[in-house]
Amino acid sequence: MTLSIVTGASRGLGREIARKLVARGRKVAAVARSQSELEALQAESSNILPVVLDLADPEAIDRVIGALLQEHGPCDVLVNNAGYALRGAIEEIDRDAWRHEFEVNLFACAHLVQIVAPSMRERRSGRIVNVSSVAGRVSTPFNGAYAATKFALEAMSDALRGELRPFGVHVIVLQPGPLATDFRRAAEAASGGRLDDASSPYFAGYKGLRASMAASRGRAWSPDRVADLAIEAIESTSPQSTYAAYGPKMKVGIALRALAPALLERVVARRVKWS
């Protein structure tokens, strides 16, 4: 039985991807920080291997993933799903917060690739799915830190795809828009009350951001629906480089970024009631 690794697997999209992989007869190393949530997932199947790991700790990644591969064999599917959004104006996000978000959203992804890619190359087989976001294509006010990590993840994925293709390893970007999960609530928690600071010169913009995010809930995809795209990417004999998981309005926005960026900026500013 082959081994798949899914990060951020304790809830939301990662959990659904892990479940679907197990349903297809795969052994899944479900990686997350919450032991209790991983144990609940493990109770669903003996083919779930709970892996408690803080992806912001590179030494722990080496130790834990190294032991996992030594015990269970090489990984043939890596899904880099773990990540979080840090909201706020660029001016108001301190350096440590920036650094932690890049550690989780980007550097840990690269680190895991470095661990599993050698055996994939040797076997001339493997799939790496990097979960980006529509924020990896369009950056908006008060979402710049998160978008920076996702733009970087997309750039890394493009380079990695060309590097590993000659060895039979496919690199795929999964690009969700709004998701019907607790991602927004987690983002607000990660932002440390910044959006509630009435003394901030950006407070009016923060209120507009919250209103805009609330309005987008009606367009949110279920994690199950997005996980189906991930499975399609993993199982396809000729996978696409990118799988977009959002509707026509966001596709128009991405097209505007390329064709009329000033217009897109005005549209976004009106949406968050910022200018």
Give the separation between CA 240 and CA 236, rounded to whole angstroms.
9
Q: Which residue from 80, 76, 88 is spatially nearest to 104, judged by alpha carbons?
A: 80
pLDDT given for residue 263 in this prediction:
67
- Residues of the chain whose pLDDT is less than 70? 253, 256-257, 259-265, 267-275
Tell me the C-alpha distance between 79 and 77, whole Å.
7
pTM of the predicted model over 0.85: yes
pLDDT at 28: 98
Task: Classify the phi-psi angles of 192: left when phi > 0, otherwise alpha if psi is within -120 to 50, otherwise beta.
Answer: left
Q: What is the DSSP letter of 179?
A: B
pLDDT of amino acid 273: 64
The answer to whether residue 243 is catalytic is: no
Write the DSSP symbol of residue 133. Answer: -
84, 146, 243, 246: the active-site residue: 146
Instruction: Tell which residue, 130, 21, 37, 107, has the closest CA to residue 29.
Output: 21
Question: Looking at residue 259, what is its pLDDT?
Answer: 64
pLDDT score recorded for residue 95:
96
Nearest-angstrom CA–CA distance, 196 and 191: 10
Q: What is the DSSP letter of 200?
A: S
Query: What pLDDT does residue 271 have?
Result: 66
pLDDT of residue 181: 76
Residue 168: the pLDDT is 97
Structural domains of the chain, ranges and CATH numbers in brackets: 3-271 (3.40.50.720)
What pLDDT, on a 0 to 100 scale, did the predictor assign at position 247? 79
Alpha helices in 88-181 (DSSP H): 95-102, 108-123, 144-164
